[in-house]
Amino acid sequence: MSSIMFRDATLEIGGETYEGAVGRARLVPTTETVEYPTIDGGNIVHSGAPRWRFEMSAIQDWALDGISRAINDAAVAGDNLPVTLQLKAGTGQPDASFVMVPVAVPFGGDQGQILQWEQDFAVVDQPTIGIASS
């Protein structure tokens, strides 16, 4: 297996591409595990289905077609956004498709700094993780 450097990735949110504005795009699972010790010294363990969140950082691009405006507009409208994250551009590369629940992202920042934001977004159901066909 070859290692993958996270660069040359592709990110599509709501049908628009934003990889040029994003510094981090990561799906993170949380899996709850319940343990029940039994009186015979055993242990019953049950793990549920993972719940996912989408971690992202981006520049504050408030242009009409910018990522910040797109996410905020969807949050205000109450619309979820389809997302496709491909770890490296090209056919045959790992990708994930999912639906994120948008929330408002920060506006403004510190003097002399690049305007950016970091946000975690809830993911609806389970992502589909596979191999890109195009």
Amino acid at 19: E
Q: How far apart are CA 68 and CA 132, in angstroms?
A: 26
- In the chain, helix, strand, coil percent, each to 5? 10, 50, 40
User: Can you say whether the dihedral through the CA atoms of 15, 17, 19, 20 is positive or negative?
Assistant: negative
Q: What is the pLDDT of residues 51-106, one digit of tens each?
A: 999 999 999 999 999 999 999 999 999 999 999 999 888 888 889 999 999 999 99
Is pLDDT above 80 for 10? yes
Alpha helices in 28-114 (DSSP H): 67-77
Q: What is the pLDDT of residues 71-83, one digit of tens each?
A: 999 999 999 999 9
